[in-house]
Each structure stands twice: as structure tokens, then as C-alpha cells.
Amino acid sequence: MSATVDGAPTVRSPAYLTDLALYRSDFRSYLRHLDWSDEWRGAVHSSAEAAMAHGATVLARLYDAGWNRYGWPEHIGGLGGNELHRAVYYEELGHAMLPVPAQHWTLETLGPALIKYAPTLAAASLPDYLCGKQWWGQCFSEPEAGSDLAALRTRGTEDSRGGLIINGQKIWTSQGPTAARLLALVRTGSTDSRHRGLTMVLVDADAAGVTVRPIALASGRLELAEVFFDDVAVPATRIVGDINGGWAVAMHLMQYERGMYGYAVLTAALTELAHLRPQLSAHGASAALRERFAHTYIDVLAAQARTAKTVRSLAAGEEVGPGSSIDKLLFSKVEKEVHDLIFDVRRDQIVAGDQSCTAAARDSARAQWWYSRAATIMGGTAEVQRGIIADHILQLPREKR
């Protein structure tokens, strides 16, 4: 251990790498005695930009203290450990009823792909992500290719130096309006090559030829963006994996999007329910509403048990494959279910407002509910996940058309 941060020692203990219980206990103690935890817990934001800025501050503090660096390899700014450390990290944030910084959602999805397929690029770029200095957007979906990634049309043409020239359009890029970089899947083979002709690249959002246009959601917040590439030069050092090998990178990434990301989402859902429970008691909720709360709580725990199995597999270095679609189905359904329950319990506050809810808190609650409408669509629609499960896990006969 070394110098103090926020009144607590900076943590660098080799014991945490083999003793998860010790890591959990000490991190819980750190959060319990944190003098800015109320500020973190009670923060409400009037815009997506403000929320991301606050999350960056939280990440910087946790990085300096060392806690969010466990579970990540040392060459990208981590302190060692594996996915189990990151799962405990999210669990303890939930136990302390602290919101997860939004940067974690994309870091959990994009980071592991770079670590495996572009270790040199990961070492150069991920430390700034881990400490909150920057975050990235995931550029997969296109106007005519959402869940069907093999139908992508954004084109990457090889140049004389081994790099690519990118042209095309992406849409629904999460955190796109504030992202410093974009992890994009582009077509380098023929349109008939489907998934065999795709390549993954990392592009600076301010690179020449890149245009980012924020998309206003129903809440009015600029959470997403459409991105245009007009002769954007991407050097060979920014190609993740092999040219025409992007499908393997994407499939590796999807395991984390549905495993680690899903586990983090579910711990956040439990935090939301913990905040909601006192309101049910205080306002004398009906028997039907209490029963609904219990069913929702059980659904969250069931989905979390499933994603926990996936997290353990990832920590063991195992490929999860199509089984991750089960995780996606469960946690996306539950995420929507939790926010519907919150809306119905707090309907008067969220819709009309009252003295117990500030305007900023009401706006934030509304934004969260609106965003949850997309839970069963983003990252691959529920229908597509059911198709994957039917084809690759249950081995059901294909539908005749």
C-alpha cells in the first residue's frame, strides 16, 4: 500500500488476486467510510453529458485508490485478477447502493476484445479508459443492419500501407456523442461473404472524415449517435485482429456484452429495487404491488444466477458461444421489468412531480424509464436471441419459408 486517496490507503495488495473474500471485505470497508459516497449516491444529472462527466470523476477516484483496477491485466493499467474481481466490484457497489459509472457498460464490452485481439493497441489505449479520461462508442448497427451484423455495408478498402479507408454510416452508437474513440465493424470482403468479410477497427472520433450526429431520445437526452465515415484513413495499427477476421472479434465481444455487462446491469437493478423498497413500505403499497415487487426481485436473482455462470466461464478462459444469448434474453427482460415497476410505484412523482422529488430527480427517472424501452432491442433483439438458442442450442428444425 502507498499514499492515501480520499482518506483511504491506495490499494495494491497481491493477496487480493487469490483471495476474493479479502478484496470484497476491504472494498466494502472503503466504500462504507468514503467521505464522498453521499455525493456519488445522490447525484442526479440533467443531461447524458453531465452523467458521463460525473462517471469519469468517480472512475478517476476509484482508479487512484486502486479498487476498479482489479480484474484487469497490468499492461492496460489494471492490477491483475480476472472477471470474478469485476463481478465482486459491481456487487459491492450495489451493496453500498452506489450507481455504476456509465463508462463501465462499454468498457466491459469493448475492452476484452482489444486485450485478446490487439494487445499492443490495448496497452496504449485502455489505461485512459479505465481511469475515466476517455470512453468509446460501439459502431456496429447500421440503418439496414441492426441485429444481423453479417449484413453490414460500411466499407473498409485496403490502402497501400496496410491500413483501411472507411466509408459508410453507423447508427444507434451508445455513448457516441461524448466518445473519444469508436470501435467499428466494417466490410472488407464482398457483400456475399457475409460474416467472413468483416474487419474490426478502432477509429478516433475526431479523425478527419468522421462526423458524429447525436440522436435525441424520447427523454430529450443525447445518449446515442449516428456516425458517418467519409474516406476515413485507419492505420494498420488500429486494426483489431486480422483483416476479414472481424467476426471472431465480434463474437468474443458479444460474450462480454451478454455476460459481464449483463451481470453489472443486474447488480444495478438490485440497487434500484433496494431504493424502491422503502417507498413501498412508506406509502402502504397494495398486496398486488408487493407481490409484483417480489416476483421482479426473484426474476433479477434468477437472471443474475445465469449470468454468474457465464462470468465464471469467462474467468476460466472458456468460450461461452451461443449460450450467452440466454443471458441476453433474461437480463434485458428483467431490466425493462424493473423500470416498469419503478414507474408504477412512483407514477405520481415521475409524471406530475411532488415535494418528495426534485425536478432534476424526476427528469432523471423519466430518462431511465425511456431508455429501458430499448432493453430487449439493443445488443441484438430478443427475437434474434431466441433464434440463436433454437438453432444452436436446442437444435430445433429450421422454419420453412
pLDDT tens digit sequence for 157-179: 999 999 999 999 999 999 999 99
Identity of the highest mean pLDDT range in 25-39, 146-160, 274-288: 25-39
Catalytic residue among 257, 272, 335, 337: 257
Q: Residue 354: what pLDDT?
A: 67
Instruction: Give the model's pLDDT for residue 355.
Output: 65
Q: Which residues of 178-211 are buried (b: 16+ CB within 10 A; e: fewer)?
A: bbbbbbbbbbbbeeeebbebbbbbbbebeeeebe
What integer pLDDT is reported at residue 272 of this predicted model?
Answer: 93
Residue bearing the bigger pLDDT, 93 or 43: 93
Task: Give residue 1's pLDDT band: very low, low, confident or very high (50, 70, 90).
Answer: very low
Contact in structure between 6 and 61 (CB atoms under 8 Å): yes
pLDDT band at 253 (very low <50, low <70, confident <90, very high): very high
Average pLDDT over residues 271-296: 88
Which letter does DSSP use for residue 11 in this model? P
Sequence-ordered list of residues with C-beta below 8 angstroms from that of 365, at least 6 positions apart, any chain = 342, 343, 346, 349, 350, 357
Q: How many CB atoms lie within 10 A of CB 54?
A: 18
Mean pLDDT of 230-238: 98
Which three-class secondary structure state does DSSP give residue 42?
coil
Homologous superfamily, domain 259-393: Butyryl-CoA Dehydrogenase, subunit A, domain 3 (1.20.140.10)
What is the CATH number that goes with domain 136-247? 2.40.110.10
**Residues whose CB is less than 8 angstroms from the CB of residue 82 and which lie 6 or more positions away in sequence, other chains included:** 71, 314, 315
Q: In Å, how far are 19, 137, 172, 358, 377 from 46, measured between CA atoms?
A: 40, 21, 21, 11, 25
Q: Does domain 11-101 have CATH number 3.40.1350?
A: no
Q: Of all residues in the chain, what percent carry a pLDDT higher than 90? A: 69
Domain boundaries, the chain: 11-101, 136-247, 259-393
Per-residue cell: 197: 468479410
Q: Are 226 and 173 in contact (CB under 8 A)?
A: yes
The verdict on whether 257 is a catalytic residue reads yes
Q: What are phi and psi of 172, to 5 degrees?
A: 60, 35
Higher pLDDT, 388 or 200: 200
Q: Taking the model in full, what pTM does it have? A: 0.91
With CA atoms as reference, report the closest residue to 188 among 162, 223, 164, 224: 164
- Computed over every residue of the chain, the mean pLDDT equals 91
Domain 259-393 in the same topology as domain 11-101: no
Q: Which of 188-197, 211-220, 305-314 has the lowest mean pLDDT?
A: 188-197
What would the grid cell of residue 251 be?
A: 463474437
Q: What is the pLDDT of residues 46-102, one digit of tens each?
A: 899 999 999 999 999 999 999 999 999 999 999 999 999 999 999 999 999 999 999
Of the pLDDT bands very low, low, confident and very high (cuts 50, 70, 90), residue 181 is: very high
